[in-house]
């Protein structure tokens, strides 16, 4: 089999592409952070009622195949939520030590007793309360809502 000379420009292109691939930021928490944003952050409102919950739980894809039994929507700037990650560590429910607490405006949506997919129905409770979130990554981003 004849040896083929690699074109120098092609090699450069190859290396550049590889380099770009290697310099990607920590992809690590990307998916879980995205899920956190989807499930738990809503900046459009400052509080919600039952109808809000019914619509938002569907809009944010938590009513597919099975209704998510309980979910909290945080009505705060993402900056405020990221700041919570910088506070001191406290234990999570499963024992891990990378949870943090903060007080924020929320709407808690809880399934009614008669809720059943595809008719997922919720009761809303708006309040300003202490939440506990788990943060990971560098920089730290929220990946899980613990309480």
Residues acting as catalytic residues = 40, 144
Q: Using CB under 8 A, count the residues that bind other proteins.
A: 34
The token pair that represents 119 in the structure block:
């008719």
The token pair that represents 111 in the structure block:
């399934």
- Residue 131 CA to residue 115 CA, distance in Å, equals 25
Tell me which residues in 11-50 interact with other proteins (CB under 8 A): 28-29, 31-32, 35, 50
39 contacts 57 by C-beta, under 8 angstroms: no
Task: Provide, rounded to whole angstroms, the least separation between the CB of residue 54 and other proteins.
Answer: 8
Closest CB to other proteins among residues 87, 119: 119
71 contacts 40 by C-beta, under 8 angstroms: yes
The token pair that represents 75 in the structure block:
């009505």
Q: Which member of 7, 11, 13, 66 binds other proteins (CB under 8 A)?
A: 66
| Residue 63 backbone dihedrals phi, psi, to 5 degrees | -130, 25
Q: Which member of 7, 59, 87, 91 binds other proteins (CB under 8 A)?
A: 59
Which residues are at the interface with other proteins (CB under 8 A)? Answer: 28-29, 31-32, 35, 50-51, 54-55, 58-62, 64-66, 68-70, 92-96, 112-114, 134, 136, 143-146
């Amino acid at each position: 089999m004849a040896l083929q000379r690699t074109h120098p420009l092609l090699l450069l292109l190859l290396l550049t592409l590889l380099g770009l691939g290697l310099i990607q930021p920590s992809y690590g928490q990307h998916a879980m952070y995205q899920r956190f944003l989807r499930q738990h952050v809503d900046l459009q409102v400052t509080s919600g009622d039952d109808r809000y919950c019914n619509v938002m739980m569907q809009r944010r894809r938590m009513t597919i195949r099975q209704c998510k039994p309980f979910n909290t929507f945080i009505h705060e700037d993402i900056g405020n939520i990221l700041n919570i990650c910088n506070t001191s560590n406290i234990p999570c429910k499963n024992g891990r030590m990378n949870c943090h607490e903060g007080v924020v405006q929320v709407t808690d949506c809880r399934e009614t007793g008669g809720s059943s997919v595809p008719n997922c129905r919720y009761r809303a409770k708006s309040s300003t309360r202490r939440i506990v979130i788990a943060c990971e990554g560098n920089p730290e981003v929220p990946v899980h809502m613990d309480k």
